[in-house]
Amino acid sequence: MNPIRSIFVHSLTEDQAKVELAALAQELAHHDQLYFQKDAPEISDAEYDALARRNEEIEIRFPHLKRPDSRTHRVGTTPGSRFKKVNHLSPMLSLDNAFHAEDVIDFVTRCKKGLHLSDKDALSFLAEPKIDGLSCSLRYENGSLVQASTRGDGVTGEDITQNVKTIRNIPTQLKGYYPSLIEVRGEIYLEKADFQTLNDQRQEEGDPLFANPRNAAAGSVRQLDVAITASRPLKFFSYGVGRDDLKDILTQNDLLSRLKAWGLPINPLCQLCPTVDDLLNFYQTLSHIRFKIPYEIDGVVYKVNDFAHQKTLGFVSRAPRWAIAHKFAAEKAETLLKKIIIQVGRTGVLTPVAELEPIGVGGVMVSRATLHNQDEIHRKDIREGDRVIIQRAGDVIPQVLQSLGSLGHERGPVFQFPKTCPVCGSHIVKEQDEVALRCSGGLTCHAQLLESLKHFVSKHAFNIEGLAGKRIDYLWEQGLLKSAADIFTLEERDKSSAHPLKTHEGWGELSTRNLFDSIRNRQALSLDRFIYALGIRHIGRVTAHLLAERYGTFDAWWGAMKEACCKDSSAYTQLVAIEGIGEIVATSLTNFVGEPKNDVQVEALIPHLTLRPVRKTTM
């Protein structure tokens, strides 16, 4: 864990704030990509929102440190490469969030102030359920649907026109009188019952299950095979417009009526709210009935109703000033904690995970939940055999909030973390100012090595198509892949194998040939990707680029890092002096380079690679 993360914003020094903003920019970009492009988030919405709030609070306190790559400049993330990129006629912005009633009151106060209204003056809002789906823009020309696209980065999205035309409640031709050009904005979603049916089918067929309806909807829309999208019962709600030639529609409420008249579906639960109390009452009503609503909602959106007022209030860089999303609290349930297991991650962190009696939380069956770390388990006094409260807010793995004890039975013993790694038997260490316990085995620990290999081939590292998680697992289990260098000798070894890869179940000649082609195509790459691929602690994409830009070549960088292992050296002084590096990152680098096993791994890789210098204009 980043030690600075535990420091309150008001206590940060300027240097700490600079390092933290760099880390947050990198983390948020990573999670944006997982959410918007891969439809596979690693963290909950609540955890993401907490990171985003911390980023914004630091920028408010240190406005001169705001980075060009800050999330506050962005709406989503760059569109993926599988679909053609298309430009929106007008930006497709995101929304700022509210989490408490006070946030909503502040929002209304800001709106009135921006409109030069007094607290007593009336200001009407339209409140609508926030659908947990995939945002989509529909372009109609002369009433005909000519283009559909994802949000993307707010300016450019993915062209999903053919897939969207299979969604039954999206009209390909508008009804009545309509403008010659209009962009309709809305949300593609999957109802809870349809989501469960889809997952049941996937389980029968041995396919991986979708984590939640939002991921299922997004994954269904992003299919290269239109027939797959057509087979999924996707639906759409429209809620607004981007570019339009409308002159006679004066309010948000009137717009919804017009959208409905054109044949576009709108959410029937929208409501006009003249006061703050009305907004908060509507929020409470929806929060109480949300589980009865057939689709997932994760909050309520409030919009100033009058379009003239919206125009006066305008926008900030990524969101309108006249709208906000009031998020629901995470979903909770009670169940039995059967067992606590320990997982070992890529950097050696030991993460306790609760195995649970399966229980439905918000339409999803949950059988595992994270316990975070040893301190959390002890602080909450969580034990095997306890009844526990779990919380889910869109999580792939929810979290255990609290223990209710054994409810009448004698409780199990206090959980004790192992003294040695459960995978490799190495000693467990705890670094100063860190909560996490780590396996000291490094790359001798099979769990760390396996996760390091998955990181090595990931999208922002070597990006080797056809060699992701399950295939890495398989090659590992077959003894074909035990180091990163083994990737680049796999084809040669396969030629002399008595059981070539194409004969293995689930592979075949085409997939094997594609894999070998992909590996060959990735043997030349930029130095920053290589540095990032090594999976060194604290070295994200931004830091890897800084290092590659500063040292230019692999030989110069690796040689300087070896010299920097001596903290009295000029090489160490120069390393620490690089803007965005500092002592924490420098120590992590020199620890990695100074480990003989890592040196062997890296030196084994270099003969297979051509490493290009980075272009200084790429970041």
The per-residue pLDDT for range 396-405, each reduced to its tens digit, is 468 888 899 8
Q: Give me the pLDDT at residue 574, please.
A: 93
Q: How far is CA 549 from CA 54, 66, 455, 505, 564, in A?
A: 29, 21, 22, 44, 17
Active site residue 130: yes
Sign, CA dihedral 456-480-421-426, equals: negative
Contact yes or no for 1/435 (Cβ under 8 A): yes
Rounded CA gap, 353 and 367, in Å? 10
DSSP labels, 313-369: H-B-SSSBTTEEEEEPPPEEEEEEEEEEEEEE-TT-BEEEEEEEEEEEETTEEEEEE
CA distances from 222 to 188, 194, 208, 397, 465 (A): 12, 18, 16, 24, 17
Rounded alpha-carbon distances, angstroms, from residue 443 to 2, 346, 587:
21, 9, 18
* Higher local confidence (pLDDT), 581 or 276: 276
Confidence of residue 39 (pLDDT cuts 50, 70, 90): low
pLDDT at 619 over 50: no
Indicate if the pLDDT at residue 184 is higher than 50. yes
Reduce the DSSP state of residue 118 to 3 states and report it: coil
Confidence of residue 332 (pLDDT cuts 50, 70, 90): confident
Q: At what angle do helices 469-477 and 446-456 cross, to 10 degrees?
A: 130
Cβ-contact 493, 475 below 8 angstroms: no
Alpha helices in 67-186 (DSSP H): 101-114, 161-164
Bridge partners (DSSP) of residue 361 are 364
DSSP alpha helices (H): ranges in 429-536? 446-456, 469-477, 484-487, 490-495, 508-521, 527-533
Q: Report CA-CA distances (Å) from 596 to 203, 443, 544.
A: 45, 11, 21
Q: Would the pTM of this model clear 0.85, i.e. be above it?
A: no
Question: Which domains does the chain show, CATH number per domain?
Answer: 3-73 (1.10.287.610), 85-327 (3.30.470.30), 330-440 (2.40.50.140), 442-522 (1.10.150.20), 525-612 (1.10.150.20)
In 83-154, where do the E strands start and end? 85-87, 97-98, 125-131, 134-141, 144-150
Q: At 615, is the secondary structure helix, strand, or coil?
A: coil
Catalytic residue among 130, 235, 327, 454: 130
Q: How confident is the model at residue 93 (pLDDT cuts 50, 70, 90)?
A: confident
What is the model's pLDDT at position 315? 83
Nearest to 131 by CA among 49, 195, 191, 221: 191
Most confident of 138-147, 148-157, 212-221: 138-147
Beta bridge partners of 306: 251
CA pair distance 282, 274, nearest whole angstrom: 11
Mean of pLDDT values over 360-382 = 84
Report which of 446, 603, 460 is spatially closest to residue 525, judged by C-alpha positions. 460
How many Cα atoms occupy the beta-carbon half-sphere of 599 within 13 Å?
11
End-to-end CA, the chain: 25
Phi, psi of 614 (to 5 degrees): -85, 155
Beta-sheet strands, E only, within 159-212: 181-189
Helix axes 582-593, 554-564, angle to 10 degrees: 100
Best mean pLDDT range from 4-18, 58-72, 364-378, 513-527 = 513-527
- Look at the alpha carbons of 476, 478, 483, 489 in this order and tell me if their dihedral is positive or negative: negative
User: What's residue 200's pLDDT?
Assistant: 74
pLDDT tens profile 281-320: 999 999 888 878 999 898 999 999 999 999 999 887 678 8
Q: Which residue, 169, 160, 172, 170, is CA-closest to 226?
A: 160
Residue 294 tokens read as: 């057939």
* Alpha-carbon span 201 to 203, nearest angstrom: 5
Among 286, 241, 255, smallest CA distance to 128 is for 286
CB atoms within 10 A of CB 25: 23
Taking a C-beta distance cutoff of 8 angstroms, is the pair 143, 224 a contact? no
